[in-house]
Amino acid sequence: MADARVRCITKPNRDSPHEHITHLGGHDWKWTRDQVIASIDAKTNTFFVVDAAGHRSEVGVVDPGDGRARYVRTYADGDRNNNLLALPECVG
């Protein structure tokens, strides 16, 4: 199992609370949200973010359970936070 640090995201409209992250990326990789979710579900990879203070937050999958699309979110010490949205846009 690989442990991958997420360093960037792609979101069509960064200011929209209704649009999901479409891609996550790191050093020499960029995957769709669905690929990351499938990898987390299959336990083939783990993903994490490191904030400016050096704290690690795990990326987890959220299933709203009401027919809406599953999405990713970070968790640190059991608290939900928006570390993914603080990352820069992926280029290329």
Q: Write down the pTM of the prediction.
A: 0.88
Q: Is 91 within a domain?
A: no
Q: Is 22 within a domain?
A: yes
Per-residue pLDDT of 33-90, as tens digits, reads 999 999 999 999 999 999 888 889 999 999 999 988 999 999 766 555 678 988 999 9
pLDDT grade, residue 9 (50/70/90)? very high
Q: Is 92 within a domain?
A: no
pLDDT grade, residue 18 (50/70/90)? confident
> Which is more confidently placed, 18 or 69?
69
Handedness of CA 88, 27, 46, 42 (dihedral sign): positive
Total structural domains within the chain: 1
Q: What is residue 77's predicted lDDT score, i.e. its pLDDT?
A: 61
Range of the domain at 16: 2-86
Q: Is 76 within a domain?
A: yes
